[in-house]
A and B are shown apart, each in its own frame.
Chain A
Amino acid sequence: MDPKKLKFADTHEWAFAQGDIVIVGISDYAVHELHEITYVELPSVGDPTVQAEPFGEVESVKTVAELNAPCDGEIVEINEAVGDDPDILAADPYGDGWLIKIQSSDVDQLVDLMSWEQYKLYIEEEAEEEEDEEEEDEDDLDEA
């Protein structure tokens, strides 16, 4: 899938609407940041989703993080292959690594998400902040 056609949440999930079906995954940036995803837990078909509320979880480096839904609706399909083998997510986050499909009850909620261009700026800012933080820590160590 072309990331330029996707919408992105500030929590790094992407969404793509085909009619009222919304395909959801996590961004390449998130995959990179999470680093070595060891577990992915997805909901069951038929479970409800609520915008910005968790629908699943991932574990990487002893950290469990939540995956948030981009819209209200109901799960109609999950990517069981990713649950069985999280490496698929790392290898192709915008394609084979998709996570869930939601029958959206309000697809207009995706308007709240960022475009690819907006998301690129967002992650650049986030990366800069982290780099500044790292430099500060290194300076502190040097001083110590």
Chain B
Amino acid sequence: MASRCIIDPPLAPADNMARDEALLLSARTGTRVTLRFYRWSPAALSLGYFQRWGDFAEMAEAGTPVVRRLSGGGAIWHDDEITYSMAGPFGAGPFPGRAAHIFEKLHRCICDGLSRLGVDGRLSDGPSGASPLICFSEPQKYDVVVAGGRKLLGSAQRRSGGAFLQHGSLPLGANRFAPGAASLDALLGRTPAVPEIISALVGAFEDGLGLSFAKGALTSAEEGLARRLACEKYLGDEWTRRR
């Protein structure tokens, strides 16, 4: 199965979400798998697809950048972190059909990647019901946790037309909305370089999925679609305040 890895520079919240959606839509029509890494500039709060705008309106009005995700789960503060996304067909190649099994498989790969960095992570066996308002405040089933059961990484998923998009955040430093959550710099006692982290994760995904990720970029069609989605959807109140 053809697979590519895209490493984006820090981008605006709407652009990040639009690019992930473009990759999901692209995965619906092909068999290609895309692994993407990105950061956020400015830092922003992303809301889960079903979360209520009213719970966050005050923060947004006070100046916190807010974007709504296509995926489920709780709100996430994206600041000092690396975000990954994976888009591909489900029930084909290395990806199981069930959403929970994809979470489990990709998070096992991430645990392997973390171990390559010297972090001992494992999958949480916490509850799997409704997400908390702020995602990192408490671990849920299949989240990656470290010593003391503190959450280090969680992901959310969107499924559409036989394809899935899963994305999740790996905090490098403290999260001001979830002070109890773990972060890589505190666990390692140093701040690893971003390329070091990405290299460890790519290696683990390749080994765990049996894929070889060639360095790539969005196609021109995907770039165009992402620009349109950013302007017409993710920057608009109709989407951001939809619930």
Contact = CB atoms under 8 A, between A and B. Distances in A.
Interface of A: 33-36, 38-39, 41, 54, 57, 59-66, 126, 129-130, 133-134, 137, 140-141
A65 B103 CA distance: 14
Q: What's the interface size class on B, roughly?
A: 20 to 34
Interface string B91-117: 100001111110111001000000000
Given A62-B73, A63-B157, A65-B158, 20 more contacts: A35-B128, A36-B128, A38-B72, A38-B131, A39-B50, A57-B49, A59-B48, A61-B100, A61-B128, A62-B48, A62-B155, A62-B156, A63-B71, A63-B99, A63-B158, A64-B71, A64-B159, A126-B91, A133-B96, A134-B101
Given A41-B50, A63-B71, A35 B160 contact: no
B163 to A, nearest CB: 11
Contact of A59 (B49, B108, B140): B49
A129 B91 contact: yes
Nearest to B164: A63
B71 A62 contact: yes
A133 to B, nearest CB: 5
Among B72, B103, B157, B160, residue most surrounded by chain A Cβ atoms (within 10 Å): B72
B50 A130 contact: no
A61 B101 contact: no
Interface of B: 48-50, 70-73, 91, 96-101, 103-105, 108, 128-131, 140-142, 154-161, 208
Contacts of B73: 62
Contacts of B160: 54, 66
A34 B97 CA distance: 11
A38 B157 CA distance: 14
A130 B130 CA distance: 25
Contacts of B158: 63-65
17 contacts: A57-B49, A60-B72, A61-B140, A62-B72, A62-B156, A62-B157, A63-B72, A63-B99, A65-B158, A126-B91, A126-B97, A129-B97, A130-B97, A130-B101, A134-B96, A137-B104, A140-B208
A93 B159 CA distance: 21
Contacts of A59: 48-50, 72
Contacts of B161: 66
- 9 closest Cβ pairs, A-B complex: A62-B73, A63-B157, A63-B99, A39-B50, A59-B72, A62-B156, A38-B130, A62-B72, A65-B159
Nearest to B208: A140
Contacts of B50: 38-39, 41, 59, 64
Contacts of A66: 159-161
Among B48, B100, B208, residue most surrounded by chain A Cβ atoms (within 10 Å): B100
A44 B157 CA distance: 25
Contacts of A54: 160
B97 A61 contact: no
A131 B65 CA distance: 43
B100 A35 contact: yes
A118 to B, nearest CB: 18
